[in-house]
Amino acid sequence: MFLHLGADTVVLLKNVVAIADLKMVKSNINNDFLENMRANKLVIDISDNNAKSIVIADEVVYLSAISSLTLKKRAGNVFENIE
């Protein structure tokens, strides 16, 4: 199944490792992680510089304008529809 992240971007749900609120992940370790991913060109900003959430996938990190709560609900709804 797929998860729609906004801005015509979808990812395979099985590739999603974590979804977090960008405001809540402000720590030295998380900032270092994001800077490392940016340095390796592995951050995809689909938020038009209005990021609310961070979606960590297998190989890249997405910055989305959609709230982490909405993304988590979407991911949960995918599993409910399967059953």
pLDDT in tens, the chain (83 residues): 899 999 999 999 999 999 999 887 777 888 889 899 999 999 999 999 899 999 999 999 999 999 999 999 988 865 454 44
Per-domain residue ranges for the chain?
A: 2-82
Give the model's pLDDT for residue 78. Answer: 54
Specify the 3-state DSSP secondary structure of 66.
coil
* pTM, full prediction: 0.85
What beta strand segments (E) does the chain contain?
A: 2-6, 9-12, 16-21, 43-45, 53-57, 61-64
Give the model's pLDDT for residue 83. Answer: 47
